Amino acid sequence: MKGFLYIFFTVISEVVGTAALKETQNFTKPLPICVMSIGYVLSFLFLSLALKVTPMSVVYSVSSGLGIVFSCLISRFYFNQSLDYLQILGIVLIFLGVLLSNGSNIHNT
């Protein structure tokens, strides 16, 4: 269970870093640059901790799938970018694929 907590913090840190990257306006805004840098450093820290207690295939696929979902939510609600039905379907399929491909691995951690 500890591994999934690390994965969750990995994803949150990465998504915050990516959202801040968009706000840097080509690296001209100091505060978003700092937030982005901290987000990415924390993301790698939590990723390394997750890899100590969870198989790499689980860590990478779950963090990638959750990262896509959270990034899309932030894009939609913070940056007011639209998502059409095909994009939403694609996100759902990716998320389901992650769950299905790691079903046996998740029970063994």
- Residue 10 makes CB contacts below 8 A (sequence gap 6+) with 43, 46, 47, 50, 59, 63
Rounded to whole angstroms, the Cα distance separating 75 from 86 reads 16
Q: For 27-82, write each residue's pLDDT tens digit.
A: 999 999 999 999 999 999 999 999 999 999 889 888 988 898 899 889 999 999 99
Determine the pLDDT at residue 97: 83
- What is the mean pLDDT of the segment spanning 78-104? 85
pTM of the model: 0.83
Can you give the residue ranges of every domain in the chain? 1-106
